[in-house]
Structures are given as C-alpha cells and as structure tokens.
Structure 1
C-alpha cells in the first residue's frame, strides 16, 4: 500500500500515489517504459520536460536523459499528458518483405472475452513415454549427427545432442524429380526434401530457457553442421530451421527440440526478401540489414541487447507483440559460415533474451526461425542471416490471414524498453 508521505528523490524524479485510470490499467502501463526512457511512443522525439510518473513494480526509474535514477517498487511516475494519452494508430512497413503492421495501442483497452495475451499452455507429459529421452533411441530413425557426452562431466546419457530424420516427415528425399522453380506452369510436384529433428538435450526439458549455455552453443553448432552437410548434397535450394515452443506455436512434444527442413524450392517470402535486399545493395552499395543495424544502434529505441558480435532488436513492423530479431553485427550471409567460436557468446545473449521474454510476458509460446541465405541463386552478398522470435501472444484474425496486414497493440519501442528492464545479468 502506498504511503502519503513524500519520498526523497532528486528533483527530476518524485514519487507519490497516483490513481490509475482504467484505460491505463488495460494497457499495462504501456507508455511508462518509454516515458522512463524519455521516448515518446512511436516517435523519435523526447517528451516535454517536467515530472514523469509511472507505476512499474521493480522497474528502473529514469530521468528524461535516460540515466538510471534508482529502483522504485510500488511507486508511481507521472508522465506529461501527451504520453499518458493513448497514442494514435500508426502504420509500419517491414523493410524486407514489405508487409504492413498497424500499431494500435488503444486496442489493448478494448473489452474481450477470452485470454487476451495468451500464456503458454502445458502439455500432458509423461517422461516415461518420451521418444527423445535416453534409452529410447530405437523409437527414432538412426541419427545423422550425434554429439557424444563428455566423459568427464555428468554422464546422463551416451550423447548430449542428436539429429535424427523426422519419423513423420512433411517432405521426403526419395520421391523422384524435384520441383522445377523455373517452370511457372508447374502447379504440383512430389514433396521432395529432408526433414530432421534436433534433440537438443538428453534431459527431459520443456523450456529452452533451462538449457545450459553449453547446450545452447551445441544447438547452434548443430544447426551449422547440418546446414553445411545439406548444402553439400547439391539438391536443395534452401533450408528452414525453426523451433516451436508450446502447443500454441505448433509443438507436438514437450521435450525441447528444433526442426530443419531442406527444400528444393525458394518460398515466396524468401524470394521477395532477396529481391528487395539485392535492389538496396545495387542502389546504395550496402547491405540492408547492416544499414538497419547501424541506425538502430545509433538511436537505441528498439535495441534490446548487444554483445561484441550480436545485437537483438524489437522488430520495426512486428507480426506479434514483442517480436524480436537477432543478427550478427559483422556482415554474414549464411549462418553456416558464422565463426563457431562465437557460438558461446551467441548462447549467452540468446539465453538472456529468452529469460527476459519469459519474465516480461509470463512464458508465452513462441517460434524462433533462422533466416539464412539460400544455396542456389546469383550470389548472396546482399543477404544477412538473422534469427526471428515470434511470441504467440495474440491470435491472427481476418485482416492478418486475408490481407497480410498485422494489428499489434504493443509498439516496438515499448517492447524493447520492457524487455531491457527484464534482462537478467550475464552469468
């Protein structure tokens, strides 16, 4: 309960009880993180000077210059009126695939029946029946890649990571002639491809945040090893590398795992992105991702975390609230060509971000997707690999499915500020 006695804070940060209007409660104090950072939602300008108020349990209160002023618990900050009022909707365009997002913070105050922001649902789980656990290797096809257990460590299994062909594949490599991308009249073809499952740990975990840093580094190394091996086959155009966490995101088994699907064709979103990035390179002489990273690092509004070689940003035109992207700071088109000595660092920053997302959004279901350059085409200097993370906090509806236009009630700037506040310290 808040006391009416004034709290001694510097002149630029005063604390006192303030009544919350209902629309602010519905918006979960949304402008507050930005007010604390001195950023007006959806803009690049600073708010008018004056006392800023906010309620944010455990939040770091900041003055208008962005400098930390202290930890405030059960305290309330007051922002200038233009920050406390709901912000008008705004269009944002994705620079790579040109989809439009409508940022509409006011929609989070609308009445609705149901879950609203969707939490991750639990699986019915019996470890004794899990086909991915040690001792049941005969329930999967023979492994195409195995990392043996460290004999000097805690030997819970003979392996620490396995990659196996998918027992129930959507594509198969033995179906004859692959799809011919050059023949536009071809509307059907055998679904050739390779479908693999990466079993990330022998431990029966349902949450990738509980992977150790060594296990996360192994996971990225396995992605690299399998991408290199699939590329050498010379049959496939590209590979889809992704992870589904939670039933709402498409996971069918709780034991943490990823998937790799090699395809003989280039899906339209990848072809469109390649064309956009090539045009930008020809026009400016620069990689589009490198240019965006430089701008975001300079402004900082959408920056969530940064290490020596990687940065994590809130997506400018998100498809879901809190969508984020990780990319290497040094230009690199293909993930499989990434220096493997950086995987430990990659594991650290990714583990931080997963922990922040779970803490801020109450363990949402999500998909993470590795976007890396295709193996066939006229050069890849215009492309830059990245990992996208899509929290399944809302359900796509008619506008999204029918028109490819997304409505999101959380601005990227707000999402970045919130996730920054929830980042755990590096181990």
Structure 2
C-alpha cells in the first residue's frame, strides 16, 4: 500500500507548472556534510559600524536620519536603475537582450539593530506593512512590477545584519510572477474559481498543512513546497494587491507575520533565516486595471527557509535539483506539524517584554 509519509512521490505546483519530488525516507540519512554556524549571537541595539543604523553614514557618504519608524532609501548598489538607456537586440532568436529600467530600495524595519521581525511588536510590524503599501502606491505609478522581499541571515546572502528588506521595481514583469499570473488566469478561465482563494478554502477544510490562521489570513506549508519549512501566506478574502487591505486586514497581517516568524525562530532556537517576498497583481496601463482584469489574482507571500534538520544543517539545491527537478526529504504535512507545534511566544522573550508587546498591540 502506498503511504505518502514514507514512499517517494511527486507533487504538482499549480502556480508555476513545476513538479516536486518528495522522498520522506531520506530524512533519516546520516549527515556528514557542511555545518552552518547558527545565528544565535546577541546583537547590540546600535552598532557604530552598521551602514543601516540610525544616524550612521552609509558607504556613499550619505548619513541616515535619526529614524524611529521604518526608513526607506534608494539602494547604494541598486540592481536596477531608472535611467538605463532603452535597447533591444535579437540575433537568430538565440541571442536576445533587452535593457531593464527600474529602481532598488532598502527598507529598515526599525532603528533597533538587534530586533528581527519576530522580535518586533505588532505595532512595529504594522508600520512596516504600511511602509510596504506606501512603496507599492509610489512605485506602481511608474513601473509594472514591484517586488517586496527580505533575505534574512548570512546563510541566505544577507550582507548586513540590521533587520531590513528590499523593494525592487521594474518596467517588465519578472519570470516567476509572469508564470503565476498566467497560471491563475488560466485556472479562473477553466475552473471558474480564483486559484489561491479556492486553495485556501481547501486547506482549511483538510487542516493537514495549516501552520497558523486568524480571521483574515492563513499560513500553510503548501502541498507543493520545495524548501523543507517553506510556507505560503494567503488572505482569506479576494485581495489582488496590498493597497486593497483595510485596517482590520492590516492589523491581522501584523499578527500573522509575528506568529509565523516567532514559530520559525522557536523551531531551532535561532534567528531563523529565510528569503520571503510578496506577489501581487502586476500593474497595467490605465484602462486595463479594472476589477474584472484582477479577478484571477490573489495577493500572497512566500517564505523559503534553507534550514533542514537543525540550525546548523542547510538544505542545498544542487545536483538533481539543478539538473532535473526540486526534491525534498520530508512531506509538507510533517513540516507543517512541526511548525504548528511551536509556541507563539518567542524563545528569548521574558514576561516583561510580553507585557510591553501587549501594550503596543493595544495602541494599534
């Protein structure tokens, strides 16, 4: 008899059309490979040599303001620039090139150098959410895609430990969001349903992969998850873009982000690394941006953590993953159960801090 928690199988990802190989029995294999250094160091609330701390000078000589709320500025080493000359080249449909215009911004979550998102109060997370919304509103006036994301932890390539995220905007829709746009549009056309709204309803009914849920939001380890403790964050009502969130939905989002990231940290008792990012409906020229044209899109966030068995063992996407298809060593159901079992109180939080966070939440 086939047992999905023991036997190899493949799962389909309807957002991109890819398959994932699941090999649950491999989770027991001995590990003699590379060990990472867990992110357990206690950082100061201010660091003189940090380019992102309030009041400090950045590498280009500009001085940060004495900010107390989220601070956004143009990246000093921007991956996209606004004034790139327009250019296209196509030779035999094999050597195709086009110039890219855009901008890259950095968002410092708070002035406290030591506090990552799970250690912020809900009020502080709410301020981050409202900064995201403000950036979407600004950048969508000029660009068709706005990508909000965060790389947390040195293991994920983060070059500065000060808690921060990034916002890149471009004049073209990137590859992965374009696939998600096509898949959601096709699902609505063929099934008559919004793909991710329908998926959220099914996950709630099955209750196998839910990590945490509140009135307006759901976090699951998706059925097709690639990374060991990957999660998908979904609104429970039709929302195509973050700017559409009302006050109650914003408050609930702050709550769900805090709950999820606390569970991540508690899992291996470390500052849990991940890459996360939001996908919302692309922005289109005036006249095309009508509600009917957004009915297929559902706002969602992906969390892709690289840790596998412990704070020191990383999941590597190499070999078969690079040459064939993604493979994972535990089922999404097993991963969800482990995350769901974690406390919603951060492992470093004393009772005094809990009372302080409750006071902040009351101000929301």
Say yes or no: TM over 0.5. Answer: yes
**Uncovered stretches (5+) of structure 1, i.e. residues with no partner:** 1-39, 43-85, 149-156
CA offset at residue 373 of structure 1?
1.1
Structure 1 residue 134 corresponds to structure 2 residue 54: yes
TM-score of the pair, normalised by structure 1: 0.71
Q: Which residue pairs with 2:322 in the alignment?
A: 401
Structure 1 residue 246 corresponds to structure 2 residue 141: no
Please say if residues 89 and 96 of structure 2, whose CA atoms lie closer than 8 Å, have aligned partners that are also in contact.
Answer: no
Q: Specify the SS of the correspondent of 2:294.
A: coil
Larger-Rg structure: 1
CA offset at residue 123 of structure 1?
10
Q: Would you identify which runs of 4 or more consecutive aligned residues in structure 1 move more than 4 Å?
A: 115-126, 137-143, 178-181
Q: 1:294 to 1:178 in 2, by over 3 A?
A: farther
CA offset at residue 124 of structure 1?
9.8
Q: After alignment, is 111-120 or 393-402 more displaced? A: 111-120
Partner Cα distance (2:190, 2:273) in 1: 39
Q: Which residue pairs with 1:231 in the alignment?
A: 140
Partner Cα distance (1:252, 1:401) in 2: 25
Q: How many residue pairs are counted as aligned between the two chains?
A: 330
Please say if residues 319 and 408 of structure 1, whose CA atoms lie closer than 8 Å, have aligned partners that are also in contact.
Answer: yes
Q: Which residue pairs with 2:70 in the alignment?
A: 161
Q: Which residue pairs with 2:260 in the alignment?
A: 353
Structure 1 residue 368 corresponds to structure 2 residue 276: yes
RMSD over equivalenced CA pairs, Å = 3.0
Q: Which residue pairs with 1:412 in the alignment?
A: 332
**Uncovered stretches (5+) of structure 2, i.e. residues with no partner:** 308-314, 346-353, 359-364
Q: Which residue pairs with 2:19 in the alignment?
A: 100
Structure 1 residue 389 corresponds to structure 2 residue 303: yes
TM-score of the pair, normalised by structure 2: 0.82
Return the structure number with greater relative CO, CA threshold 8 A, min gap 6.
2
Partner Cα distance (1:105, 1:313) in 2: 19
Structure 1 residue 213 corresponds to structure 2 residue 161: no
Deviation per residue, 1:111-158 (Å, 9 max, x gap): 331247884486999811112112125656879xx9x9xxxxxxxx44
Q: 1:309 to 1:288 in 2, by over 3 A?
A: same
Q: 1:138 to 1:321 in 2, by over 3 A?
A: closer
Deviation per residue, 1:148-184 (Å, 9 max, x gap): 9xxxxxxxx4431210000011111011227799xx7
Please say if residues 48 and 56 of structure 2, whose CA atoms lie closer than 8 Å, have aligned partners that are also in contact.
Answer: no
Q: 1:290 to 1:141 in 2, by over 3 A?
A: farther
Q: Which residue pairs with 1:114 in the alignment?
A: 33
Q: Which residue pairs with 1:199 in the alignment?
A: 108
Partner Cα distance (2:323, 2:42) in 1: 31
Partner Cα distance (1:160, 1:279) in 2: 41
